[in-house]
Amino acid sequence: MQTVSAGKDLHFCLDRQFTSAEQCTEIWRLLGCDYQWLQISPGPLNGRIRVERQQGMILVSIQADQALLVQGARNPDWVPFTIEHTDNIAEHRHFGEALSPRTLGGFNTRLDQTLLRTSPGGSQIGAVLLDRRRIEQMAALDPFGRLQDHLDGSNTAVLSEASHQGLKLLMEPPAWQGFDAHGCFQADLLEAQLFDALASEPDSCLRPVTQTHRSDLVREVVEFSFRNRQTPMTLQEVCRALFTTKTTLTVSCREMFGFGPMLLLKRVRLQQVHHVLSNPDLQRQLGCRTIHAVASYFGFYSRNHFSRDYRALFGESPRDTLHHSAA
């Protein structure tokens, strides 16, 4: 399937169930977003993602029953606007900062990275990706320049109850509301309400971009974990590679994830094993035809420890995952 670009005036729609964070990564790559997704909370993951594109806008809705982390480079053609449909935001973190209720976020036009984690227990994030050229056109029509100032200087806005409820309704896919699965969302009205919300909210409701040293460090350790997903490393080796101290790295990870950097690295490698065991084509590409071969490829050499950690994270044994992929 081709990557969806901002320059193509086409209708695009997909609706998929997913049972791993890697499947989310693959779907977002179709949108031209180089995001890495990671399952944070332990247990079986069940989710659904729907993507619709029309009129220079992409609407994405993601439901998941486990806490997830998404980080990576944004597509420069699109500017994201995100909203949480549920009240379950206690452990949501955006660049390490807690989110307030009724938050619209992610829209800063100068950011080139994303770093967001959701709360365990079920969440539904709605995201609108707007063509950057369209945003520039609308900002140029604002005689007071408030819209551009808010887009450049802020990254979250706490909306009024009415504005928040209106956007939640418009950002819910029609197919998820019981309407025709092929029904289109109201792109023109959604765009108008997004711009109106940002231009009309008082400055006191806006929050500046908060990229701290700790949030940058968390992003770096996640990227490092994916780059080195085949090699077990010590905490000292990780700190040396990232030019940081054990205390700083441990505190930063615990603030974001609730656990330390070594468990983060292990979960990234476990997720890669899960992805390969779920995909017979990847097993053939890697030349790994057994569970032990796949586990060893990603640096797990103790069968008992590996099986225990795998079941604790995914709620099933490696053999169960392999069986499901062959069914």
Is the per-residue pLDDT at 1 higher than 60?
Answer: no
CATH number of the domain at 213-326, please?
1.10.10.60
Q: What is the DSSP letter of 65?
A: S
Angle between helices 303-314 and 318-326 (to 10 degrees): 70
pLDDT at 17 over 80: yes
Q: State percent of the chain over pLDDT 70.
A: 93
Q: Which residues contact 290 (CB under 8 A, 6 or more apart)?
A: none
How many CA atoms are closer than 13 Å to the CA of 48, on its beta-carbon side?
9
Per-residue pLDDT of 37-91, as tens digits, reads 999 999 999 999 999 888 789 999 999 999 999 999 999 999 999 999 999 999 9
Q: What is the mean pLDDT of residues 184-193?
A: 88
The least confident of 11-15, 235-239, 256-260, 293-297 is 11-15
Question: So where are the chain's domains?
Answer: 12-208, 213-326
Could you tell me the fold of the domain covering 12-208? Jelly Rolls (2.60.120)
| Average pLDDT score, the chain | 89
* Residues 238-259: tens digit of each pLDDT: 999 999 999 999 999 999 999 9
Q: Specify the range with the lowest mean pLDDT, choosing from 117-121, 158-162, 164-168, 210-214.
A: 210-214
Q: Rounded to an integer, what distance in angstroms lies between the CA atom of residue 310 and that of residue 236?
A: 25
Q: What is the pLDDT of residue 10?
A: 62
Average pLDDT over residues 264-281: 94
Please check whether the two domains, 12-208 and 213-326, share a CATH topology: no
Predicted confidence (pLDDT) per residue in 142-185, tens digit = 888 888 888 998 999 999 999 999 999 999 877 666 554 555 78
> What's the N-to-C CA distance of the chain in angstroms?
24
Range of lowest pLDDT (70-79, 114-123, 193-202, 246-255)? 193-202
